[in-house]
Amino acid sequence: MGYAAQADDVFRTRLAERSDELDQLFMELYDDCAALDALKEAMAEAYAARPGDLRELDKAREADPEWYKRGDMFGMTMYSDLFAGSLNSLADRIPYLQEQQLTYLHLMPILQMPHPHNDGGYAVEDFDNVDPAFGTNEDLAALTAKLRKAGISLCLDFVMNHTASTHRWARRAQEGDPEYQSYYFCYDDRTVPDQFDGTVPQVFPSAAPGNFSWNEQMGKWVMTQFYPFQWDLNYRNPKVLVAMLGSAMHLANLGVEVLRLDAVPYIWKQLGTNCRNLPQVHAIVRMLRIALECVCPAVVLKGEVVMAPKELAAYFGTPEKPECHMLYNVSMMVNLWSALANGDTRLLKAQTDALNALPPNCWFVNYLRCHDDIGWGLDEDKERELGIDPLEHKEFLYHFYEGAVPGSWAMGELYNYDAASSDARSCGTTASLCGVERAVITHDKPALETAVSRDLLLHMAMAFLRGFPMLSCGDEIAQLNGWNYKEDPDRVEDSRNLHRSRFDWDKAALRRESGTLQNRLWDGMAELRSMRDDPCFAPDAWVSTWDAHNDGVFALVRKSQGETLVGLFNFTGQAQHARLGGSDSIMGPMDADLGAYEAQLVRR
């Protein structure tokens, strides 16, 4: 075959070890030998084009396959243009990232996109090229090389579910080409769309209602589960899969080391289902994993799976047939904010127990804020078990973080409020949601001290969880909300822009000035990294919650290499006492007193 002629022994050996499974998965899904050969040809071409320094990285990562689980992993997510401007300007700012000992940097989408309406870059019109507003592919390759030299792995989003309506495939489809209409879900009338709508929930019921949009030029209904300018891809067509996997490998050859699979549970559509978490999704992710292991094994997959804990384990696959290396820990993010608002850690503990019960191959990226909103997807069955009304609790939380509940310290905004279901999500930076902004505006120094304590408590608890921590850029200097988005006609309709503001370099300059707000947070993040240098943060550490006999205190225990570390986190604004029972095999009993919003580490 042609692909064998292009490859050396390394690629042929990797492919031979995985070919039987790849063939089986592909043929079960498509029964198309020509398309399978096209995929293998694309894999061989990507391997042949892989730069020598990245092949060396592949060898190192094959020898150290759990590199991303080390305790010193420390991440950050950012919009490159808001942080520095172009990719070249970002490269000039790498020393700032090194100051924080980052090992992982997630850039929000930088691939070619329509302007101005692009859903923050998640409407992609070219998966193979950087948007000119950020630079060029050569700039990206140069940036990744400089980041690698600084010990930082770059993560980029790979938007598998949809393309922009301006993508070349969508343009051809709108011109009437049936070949490219088959890359999407296009229908002459509402018969099939109505059947889908009968079982498929809406993603944005108020901002973008429905799952289909009428395209006047094409004269057809097209599936658009997210926004009308984002057309869902039809993975029933093997050409779509082959092309998308080719783009993934192309990004890897530009030096991208982590691919974040955006909205991956949605990628397979089937009538009569909710089009979420279907078995074919896992077959596709497994094939992507196999392709990367053959071509560029240094690259890892991070899944964005905003689903219940019972759905998460499947996205890791099994130790024998792995899928994603790690997932975004969305549910823990939500539960941390919930516990902070009501001073009750019972739901947080239950959610932690559910995730800790997952198999050892399940690994998470933990965070407090990211580019997106806080969607209040709590475990409703557990809430009812604890005597909490799920709807009332959700309404309390989003109004609390809007600052509309008496006693709330937060300043934020609602996103995607739906009056029919009383559903809404929350926006705002970590500092503003913790009360820093309100305290600054009112010149209330005691309130500011309390707000900083909340902020640091959340970060410390997040970093103690199983997985590794990721900051949202600006959290390290307590960056506040960017209300000026309301003055921009291209941004005003999306309240998520509240926490998507330009990085304040003037404020960052204060990070070394003792006594400043920025210095408090900067030093707090240094303490967080110091905590994670402990041997109890080894990849194979045993992690469990512990009963503190106090619902206001969240207790976690880590044990590794004969060492035991206890983390105690007071989620209330009052002093609390914690009493932990002992265990013959882990630790003796202990008592501890904690101040308001205090995090305490205890060696046992």
pLDDT in tens, 383-415: 999 999 999 999 999 999 999 999 999 999 999
Both structure tokens of 165: 């309506």
The Cβ of residue 463 has, within 10 Å, a number of other Cβ atoms equal to 25
pLDDT score of 4 more than 70: no
pLDDT score of 306 more than 90: no
pLDDT score of 221 more than 90: yes
CA atoms within 13 A on the CB side of 290: 24
Q: CB–CB of 78/107 below 8 Å? A: yes
Residue 1, pLDDT score: 47
What does residue 192 show for φ and ψ, rounded to 5 degrees?
A: -70, -45
Residue 464, pLDDT score: 98
Residue 419, pLDDT score: 87
CATH 3.90.400.10 domain residues, the chain: 168-232
Residue 206, pLDDT score: 77
Residue 413, pLDDT score: 98
| Across 23-44, average pLDDT | 98
d(CA 158, CA 218): 27
Pick the CATH number of 168-232 from 3.40.50.970, 3.40.1010.10, 3.40.50.700, 3.90.400.10: 3.90.400.10
How far is the CA of 577 from the CAs of 345, 510, 541, 550, 587, in angstroms? 14, 36, 27, 7, 19
Residue 97: which of 68, 71, 77 has the closest Cα?
77
Q: What is the mean pLDDT of the chain?
A: 96
Q: Which residue has the higher pLDDT, 302 or 419?
A: 302
- Write the CB contacts of 176 (distance below 8 Å, at least 6 apart in sequence): 218
What does residue 67 show for φ and ψ, rounded to 5 degrees?
A: -55, -35
d(CA 496, CA 119): 10
Phi-psi region of 239 (alpha: psi -120 to 50; beta: other; left: phi over 0): alpha
CA atoms within 13 A on the CB side of 208: 19
Burial class (CB in 10 A: 0-12, 13-18, 19+), 382: middle
d(CA 321, CA 268): 20
pLDDT score of 193 more than 80: yes
H/E element holding 15? helix 9-30
d(CA 293, CA 290): 5
Fold (CATH) for 542-603: Immunoglobulin-like (2.60.40)
pLDDT score of 115 more than 50: yes
Catalytic positions: 262, 304
Burial class (CB in 10 A: 0-12, 13-18, 19+), 538: middle
Q: CB–CB of 225/262 below 8 Å? A: no
pLDDT in tens, 505-549: 999 999 999 999 999 999 999 999 999 999 999 999 999 999 999
CA trace torsion 459, 465, 470, 476 (10° rounding): 20
Q: pLDDT confidence of 567, banded at 50, 70, 90?
A: very high
Orientation angle between helical segments 9-30 and 33-48, nearest 10 degrees: 150
d(CA 379, CA 573): 25
pLDDT score of 2 more than 80: no
CATH 2.60.40.1180 domain residues, the chain: 542-603
pLDDT in tens, 345-374: 999 999 999 999 988 889 999 999 999 999
Both structure tokens of 423: 């559903």
Where are the strands (E) in 66-184, listed by range? Answer: 75-78, 104-107, 111-112, 126-130, 153-159, 162-164
Min mean pLDDT across 45-49, 202-206, 557-561 is at 202-206
Residue 5, pLDDT score: 55
Q: CB–CB of 169/175 below 8 Å? A: no
Residue 473: which of 96, 169, 111 has the closest Cα?
96
Q: CB–CB of 233/159 below 8 Å? A: no
d(CA 188, CA 197): 16
pLDDT score of 504 more than 70: yes
Q: Is the dihedral of CA 519, 473, 97, 100 positive or negative?
A: positive
Both structure tokens of 533: 């240098």
Both structure tokens of 59: 């060898």
CA trace torsion 108, 341, 391, 466 (10° rounding): 50
pLDDT above 90 covers a percentage of the chain that reads 93
Which residue type is seen at 357? A
Q: CB–CB of 522/529 below 8 Å? A: no
Q: CB–CB of 424/393 below 8 Å? A: no
Residue 3, pLDDT score: 56
State the maximum Cα–Cα separation within the chain, in Å, rounded to a whole number. 73
d(CA 127, CA 334): 31
Q: CB–CB of 602/559 below 8 Å? A: no
Residue 7, pLDDT score: 65
Residue 6, pLDDT score: 56
| Across 256-281, average pLDDT | 97
Q: CB–CB of 536/564 below 8 Å? A: yes
